[in-house]
Structure 1
Amino acid sequence: MAKRILTVDDSKTMRDMVSYTLRKAGFEVNEAEDGKKALAVLAGGRFDLVITDLNMPVMDGITLIRNVRAGSQHRGVPILILTTEADGVKKAEGKAAGATGWLVKPFSPDKLVDVVQRVCP
């Protein structure tokens, strides 16, 4: 059974690129355009991994992570942040919120798949 991944990004182009890369590698992918919509998608099923952008309208990635970690259904699901931000302070904030890992855009498709396979075996 394919692993289910939720990718969250306000950029449709970025969601399309991430989804295409992961589907090509055999993953089942759902998408959301902000943290609030991501929470609604998560409420509808089981996921093995969440990949989220940091800077989004309505609800940002850090707030999304805090909400996921505070819930019960997906509390232990790995969460990767995929963002243009490389600032150490932001990384520390993401880690404190409960992020599993951090990837910087633009991403290499091979590296993305490699990281996903490591955190979601």
Structure 2
Amino acid sequence: MAQVLVVDDSSTVRNEVSEFLKSNGLTVSVAVDGRDGLAKLKSDAAIRLVVSDVNMPNMDGLTMAEKIRGELNNAAVNIIMLTTENSPAMKERGKAAGIKGWIVKPFNGPAVLATFKKLLA
């Protein structure tokens, strides 16, 4: 069972983030888009943190976050956006969906590791 779910349509980003987290002792699962992310979250109750891109095919990260809070009625999982998007409107939508943080790519693992671990505690 995973502690962290990394959701990104880019295999490069998925691999970079998940390998960094694994190398720092975390158990990680990956998903290729929001739809896949929702399915993984439904099937693994141990997931405590979702790190997701915004722009993805099939279902974007913000819609996935809204569905996590709404359809799944899951307020316990922490959600962080890792994206190239930086618009105030997107951030407001994320805040309304209960997003805990917004990280602009590129991913800087050492800079966020302590925060991720705190969210998992």
Could you state the TM-score of these two structures normalised by the residue count of structure 1? 0.92
Partner of 1:49: 49
Kindly provide the amino acid, as one letter, of the partner of residue 86 in structure 2.
A
Q: Distance in 1 between matches of 2:31 and 2:23?
A: 19
Closer, same or farther in 2 for the Cα pair 1:3/1:114, shift >3 Å?
Answer: farther
How many residue pairs align between the two structures? 119
- SS of the aligned residue for 2:82 comes to strand
Closer, same or farther in 2 for the Cα pair 1:56/1:26, shift >3 Å?
Answer: same
Kindly provide the amino acid, as one letter, of the partner of residue 9 in structure 1.
D
- SS of the aligned residue for 1:23 comes to helix
Q: Distance in 2 between matches of 1:40 and 1:104?
A: 25
- Segments of structure 2 that go 5 or more residues without pairing to the other structure are none
2:33, 2:56 within 8 Å by CA — same for their partners in 1? yes
Matched, 1:8 2:2: no
Show structure 1 runs of 4+ deviating over 2 A: none
Please report the RMSD computed on the Cα atoms of aligned residues, expressed in angstroms. Answer: 1.4
1:21, 1:113 within 8 Å by CA — same for their partners in 2? no
| Per-residue deviation, 1:88 | 1.6
